[in-house]
Chain A
Amino acid sequence: MSARRKVLLKVIILGDSGVGKTSLMNQYVNKRFTTQYKATIGADFLTKEVMIDDRLVTMQIWDTAGQERFQSLGVAFYRGADCCVLVYDVTQPNTFKTLDSWRDEFLIQASPRDPENFPFVVLGNKVDLENRAVPTRRAQGWCETKNNIPYFETSAKEAINVEQAFQAIARKALEQDAKTSCDIGLEPNIPIQPEPAKDKSGCCT
């Protein structure tokens, strides 16, 4: 195989209704924010081409409805995901509490080969607002207990940390993609280099 395989990374964004999933996706892909988003019904998606270590990959970012149940989208939707982004609203503690359920549910539906090491990224969104209710430390604590999920605090509105977070997401997804390609016997084109330091570059500490 002289030519490199075209890489398509599938990223799924999950989280409660109104935490800013659509806004984050649009901020990252279109560099735009508007207060005029409608509620997502079912799912929506955008694609973006990104360079990761001189490698051009296409990211297919799936935005899901916060109230959508897993069942309605079908198992096929979740299978083949390379990374799962869990979003909560830092001003609403209950959206943080449900992260557990979202994560568990995703693992059940997507049933990845190695659930323990499946890449998740957690985003605490709306940090531009004053009435913060979930302390950073609490969120970080939760991420640590879940096999050190990278955690970012973002604002889709102010474009804070969005680029960094999605860079990390892309990187994680690419690693995962390489892993699964190996599993199914394709030539591993990507050197698997877990880069914990880099992953955390945009993280809040």
Chain B
Amino acid sequence: MVDSTNKSHKQLHVSSTGNAVLFTNTGIPSPIDLSSSQEHCPTDRQGSPIHITKNFNSSTERPINGTIETGEQGEGGDCNEDQYYPFPVKSEACIEKIKQDWTRAVEYLQEGDILSKLREMALHGELESQPLRGIAWRLFLGTLPTATEDWIDIVNKQREKYNSDKNKADIDPHKNASSHPLSNESNSAWNQFFLDQDLWLIVDQDVSRTWPEERIFTNERIRNIMRRVLFTYAKSQSKVDYRQGMHELLANIIYMMCREHERCPVSQEIPEYIRHVVDPSYLEEDAYTLFSELMEYCDIWYDGGHEEATFKARTNIRIETPFEKEGVVLGLTALSKKLNKIQGTLLKKHDPELSEYMDSLELSPQVYGIRWIRLLFGREFILKDILLLWDALFAQGTSLDLIDYIAIAILMAMKNSIIDHDQGDCLLRLMKYPQDFPVRDIINHALHLKHPSWPNPYGSIKPVISSEKLSTLSSPPREQIDYANNNSTEDPSKWSKMKVNQNWKSKSLRSNTIQVTNTQPLSIRSKIQSLPRPRVPKSAHTQLSNPLSSPKKQSESSLTGSNSQNPVATKTADDQISNLEKEIEFLRVKSDYCVGKLTAYVDHLQDIMYQSTFATKESEDLAYLAIAGIKQVRDVLKGQLELGDSSFGLDSNMYHYLRESNPNLVEDHISKDSPPSDQDKPPRYRLGSKELEEDSVDLFTNTSPPISAEMVEIHSPPDPLLDSSQDFPLSPSHPLEYID
């Protein structure tokens, strides 16, 4: 595919009429006579606008095997899961793997609502390992509908549209007899032709410096596709002409598509509509479609407003128009407004300290932010990470408003390198690329800033530090506070980190609990085993690869392990405690995870319900009551609502457990161990209401180990008083009303 012969500095470009333009590597065309050279240049690659028609309609550029060497693949035919498929695909094993992946993906898609499933995957960074990214982006940006039966038709139309746009974009002045090449009329075909030539040069200049470190972009076929797509776009779609930066948006789309083509379905078992959409022979057409659609939402950030007129005049070297003074009328472009909003309003809201400091340095957001927004952070991370970022960005809707939060997340991530540094240092840091922090953290943080219910990726980092300090001080109450403060802020993606930290975490925990617990380890275990299982509606269980799977195994094994121990021996008591602690930790994280999921699903449901009309008023009420019920379950899990306060009642199992807990001890514990500021807080468990208390006194006397309080405390989430985000009125109702 790669034209290896085309390496000379000077290249010949033959027009459709046989006039050649000599291109040097500096890009200045000078017409020379080469009427017979066409035959000698069969592999003409670069081309000028004049040349486009020939290139556009030629099928010789279609790859024979439908793939392009991207240059990043592993050696040979190995099929490592973590790597991209080797490209072009050769080995049997790989083909089999691809087949399997696709079969799984197709099955997955056929199960229900494609769009929300793909969104879910995109937000969790799971499109990376799936062959569905291209389809997902098309759906997110709206170039494909959710109804798969329409895909073939729609894609055919889009491909036709490109070819017609492309043909229209190419103006051949020779066909227009009334026009003279030396005419100065601005609308003459020749004048347009010369303008096009300038446009082509500008596009060419940027295309040849696109991702120079990625081999795929040194491929002349890819470069030609980029030139034609950008040129056609600028001529037929763009409201703002071609502007620098657009080439990198297109490049990333092409890169994604080439990756997608690596996994192009080879099996006939894959439905026709999918094979049609990801057909590698339509890279150019499909890239154009997706790029034009993306530009629909991004072009305002390329719009220089009044300056456009002067720019166009200036690039037209045949008509010398000086800068017009009104071209620089003060007034903010859409991009400036957006950037001012990000640094001025959003950052102020989420990190006032940082915002204030940046203001004091007079750091103008335009200086660092233009590149961020125009390229959709396309230089701030490595290419592979940019695709992950775009997954989430597009999944959040075509307003692309996640951009603002990503920007804030990046600023907050580099806070330490900004605060207390001078303007020069800050700018160096802000403008350095690619950034060196994990893209998943940035995505998750941005999502958290946008939707506070999304788990904060940094939630689990802070407690690690503070607990470490505290564990050396061996101060039980503060340890508990740390847990409470960070209870609901775990992110599933932090699981690996969590596992690593678990060892010493349990160590520090042990130092706190051991004094209380080693008297009656057995009863603790029985308590923990009777802990309520988080109640999550079935629908909330995700089909996606569940980060819980490995910890679950661990927990189960630890449980069986502890069963086989002799509880009487003091030595094994330690092991037991550590196992139990692990279990508690696991339960805690699991419930946090479920809270996150529940919240997301409830939000979805609610959005749909607001837009729907119900058959009867009664069914509407029931639906909203059900939502309210799910929210209560969530809030109990989250710890914002006590079980006794919820309106959904208690089953016999729960009732039994509540009766077993000793409310007195709970009260006792709070008054003794909590710092003074905590004294005003309501008891952790409202089940200490009078009837229950009286009832449980005699039942409880035998099995009332102090650890139950400890355990409950550890398991208990943030104090409701600390969190004002409750979104529905709490109507404390008496727990016993709900007991059968």
Contacts and interface: CB of A to CB of B under 8 A. Distances in A.
Interface stretch (B206-214, B284-292, B515-523): B206-214
Contact of B328 (A36, A44, A108): A108
A38 B209 contact: yes
A38 B307 contact: no
Interface in A109-158: 109, 126, 129, 131, 133
Interface stretch (B35-43, B346-354, B370-378, B673-681): B370-378
B375 A72 contact: no
Interface in A62-108: 65-77, 89, 91-92, 94, 97-98, 100-101, 104-105, 108
B28 interface: yes
B336 interface: yes
A131 B28 contact: yes
B370 A39 contact: no
B333 A44 contact: no
B154 interface: no
B124 interface: no
Contact of A74 (B210, B322, B364, B375): B364
B244 interface: yes
Interface string B13-50: 00000000000101110000000000000000000000
B379 A101 contact: no
A190 interface: no
A154 B628 CA distance: 72
A76 B244 contact: no
Contact of B322 (A41, A92, A100): A100
A77 B427 contact: no
Contacts of B28: 91-92, 131, 133
Interface residues of A, number: 46
B428 interface: yes
A81 to B, nearest CB: 13
A63 B41 CA distance: 39
A129 to B, nearest CB: 6
B388 interface: no
B209 A39 contact: yes
Contacts of A94: 317
B375 to A, nearest CB: 6
Contact of A41 (B24, B331, B374): B374
A107 to B, nearest CB: 11
Q: Using C-beta atoms within 8 Å of the partner chain, give the interface range for chain B.
A: 35 or more
B311 A69 contact: yes
Contacts of A35: 212
A170 to B, nearest CB: 16
Contacts of A69: 304, 307, 311
A71 B302 CA distance: 12
B212 A38 contact: yes
Contacts of A66: 244
B633 interface: no
A177 B382 CA distance: 39
A65 B367 CA distance: 11
B202 A67 contact: yes
Given A35-B212, A38-B210, A101-B314, A8 B424 contact: yes
Given A72-B370, A101-B314, A104-B323, A41 B245 contact: yes
Contacts of A126: 26
B135 to A, nearest CB: 29
A38 B214 CA distance: 12
A18 interface: yes
Contact of A42 (B211, B213, B325, B367): B367
Contacts of B213: 36
B366 A72 contact: yes
B364 A77 contact: yes
Contacts of B305: 71
Contacts, number: 124
A26 interface: no
Interface in B325-363: 325, 328, 330-331, 333, 335-336, 362
Nearest to B322: A101
B713 to A, nearest CB: 52
Interface in A17-54: 17-18, 35-45, 47
A167 interface: no
Contact of B370 (A43, A97, A109): A43
Contacts of A164: none
Contacts of A105: 323, 328
A180 interface: no
B11 interface: no
A40 B375 CA distance: 11
B336 A72 contact: yes
A158 to B, nearest CB: 14
A73 B320 contact: no
A104 B26 contact: no
Nearest to B204: A18
Nearest to B313: A101
Nearest to A35: B212
B650 interface: no
Contacts of B362: 76
B247 interface: yes
A72 B335 CA distance: 7
A153 to B, nearest CB: 15
A88 B733 CA distance: 78
B250 to A, nearest CB: 13
A131 B26 contact: yes
A129 B9 CA distance: 11
B244 A67 contact: yes
A39 B213 CA distance: 14
B300 to A, nearest CB: 12
A71 B24 CA distance: 33
Contacts of A65: 244
Contact of B26 (A17, A44, A91): A91
B205 interface: yes
B655 to A, nearest CB: 64
A92 B331 CA distance: 33
Given A38-B379, A70-B328, A73-B367, A97 B27 contact: no
Given A44-B431, A69-B307, A76 B424 contact: no
B692 to A, nearest CB: 65
Contacts of A17: 202, 205-206, 244
B328 to A, nearest CB: 6
Nearest to B26: A91
A60 B374 CA distance: 24
A76 B364 contact: yes
B97 interface: no
Given A58-B424, A133-B28, A41 B244 contact: yes
B209 A71 contact: no
B79 to A, nearest CB: 32
Contacts of B24: 91, 129, 131
Contact of B304 (A44, A72, A104): A72
B448 interface: no
A113 B428 CA distance: 29
Given A58-B424, A72-B335, A104-B323, A43 B367 contact: yes
Given A18-B205, A36-B212, A37-B209, A60 B371 contact: no
B243 interface: yes
B123 to A, nearest CB: 27
Interface in B194-238: 202, 205-206, 209-213
B328 A71 contact: yes
Contacts of A97: 317, 320
5 contacts: A38-B211, A39-B206, A47-B424, A58-B424, A92-B26
Per CB-CB distance, the 7 closest pairs between chain A and chain B, nearest first, are A42-B370, A36-B212, A69-B304, A69-B307, A41-B371, A94-B317, A67-B244
Given A18-B205, A75-B330, A76-B364, 9 more contacts: A17-B205, A39-B245, A41-B371, A42-B371, A58-B424, A68-B244, A69-B311, A91-B26, A108-B328
Interface of B: 24, 26-28, 202, 205-206, 209-213, 243-245, 247-248, 304-307, 311, 314, 317, 320, 322-323, 325, 328, 330-331, 333, 335-336, 362, 364, 366-371, 374-375, 379, 424, 427-428, 431
